[in-house]
Structure 1
């Protein structure tokens, strides 16, 4: 993990802090206006790739087929015992392999969605965003970490939802900064989970409000004839980016704008 970011995180953990959700939300709105096209494209590409791979997996490894003729005969007969027997027979040897492979492929496609974080940072630092940014995490050496982290977070959250729903919600709140920590601070899976939990726990209320806002945005997207979800999902990623920026920041980065007005003679032996 990057040394500067780790020092800042330790300071936040030791001293505490108070984030401003309103400021982060306004910042996210401005960034979204600048990269709306490419961020929406990332979500569309993810959906298309997900559909194609799921269909491909379904053709190669079909689940347990149901004998439709027998099913119709049992329904027409109205015999509940035969119906139960048919259901037990169909579930006797369930084939979970297609579901497992689909889950793995979905996790492998998530870096396309995570490219929105990188687009937001490029826009923030006055760099041009282009189509190739959609696949940046397949070539920057962070794919495996993002893949494993995605599976870990979703599995932990799924266990939480099974236990009593609320633990699953808490998982997503506490680990909301884990993906940006991998992308911007070079954290590994363990560091991303640990530091996200510790940082969020210092200002849990703000991040809880952020998650509720994101859920509301996604629901609003569904209500807009489901088309709005195409814009709602990328916006939630940009909001997470904005929260990360305002809480942890990018201490190891300097842009051309940041360097304007600095002393070019300082620490330069050739210009003294």
Structure 2
């Protein structure tokens, strides 16, 4: 914690209510939109490159699902040309890119403190607790994937336990397991509010998919801004990192 600057009274923290947290996050998201957009563009460009290398064509798979009326089975998806190679490569690339999205939490804090933001800030997490961020991302990805495969619904009840982990990793330099434990404890004590916050943040984040998938470029990073606002609500606005 010795890398913190003096507290800036301009920073704001929302009340511990889902509506207040989401409103706080939306205001910051509006002010950091270009950096959020850039992070998503980097992610999708690398995903496109992986598709080219592995030979997997997601558009063909989407068309097959549409033609089948949504009745395509899991075995058919796995059997799609290049799918296995793409899934494996994408899994590891997603882990390595996790710090870019986690860096948006740092960007959100700079915005909250009315400090200037630079493009290099979206790579901040690569030099701030990188290993623990990747470990935490791996744990979260495994748990959330399992929850998703269990008819999707359980993922909504699991999300709250991971909501505060990334801000804790960034601002407190905690280990992955300490961050998970602290996030779990706060979520357990305030489950209703954090569940509602996570659901609202998730709905905003996936809203772009409803808009013919194009809008996902605009909304996907919102979940990370919401994580920051939730952290502010329960711990106060953290002093800015150098």
Provide the TM-score with structure 1 as the length reference.
0.67
Partner of 2:60: none
Partner of 1:129: 117
Aligned-partner Cα distance in 2 for 1:97–1:220: 29
Partner of 1:237: 224
Report Cα offsets for 1:164-219 as digits up to 9, x if no partner. 54443322221111111101111111111111111011111111111221232234
The change in CA–CA distance for 1:54 and 1:109 in structure 2 (over 3 A counts) is farther
1:248 counterpart = 2:207: no
Q: How does 1:7-86 map to 2 (within 5 A)?
A: 19-56=16-53, 58=54
Over the residues paired in the alignment, what is the CA RMSD in angstroms?
2.9
Query: Which segments of 5 or more consecutive residues in structure 2 lack a partner in the other structure?
Result: 3-14, 57-74
Aligned-partner Cα distance in 2 for 1:219–1:106: 18
The change in CA–CA distance for 1:103 and 1:199 in structure 2 (over 3 A counts) is same
Aligned-partner Cα distance in 2 for 1:187–1:54: 35
Report Cα offsets for 1:229-253 as digits up to 9, x if no partner. 22211222212211111112246x2
Aligned-partner Cα distance in 2 for 1:163–1:29: 31
Provide the TM-score with structure 2 as the length reference.
0.75
Aligned-partner Cα distance in 2 for 1:250–1:171: 25
Q: Which of residues 108, 122, 146 is equivalent to 2:96?
A: 108
3-state SS in 2 of match to 1:225: coil
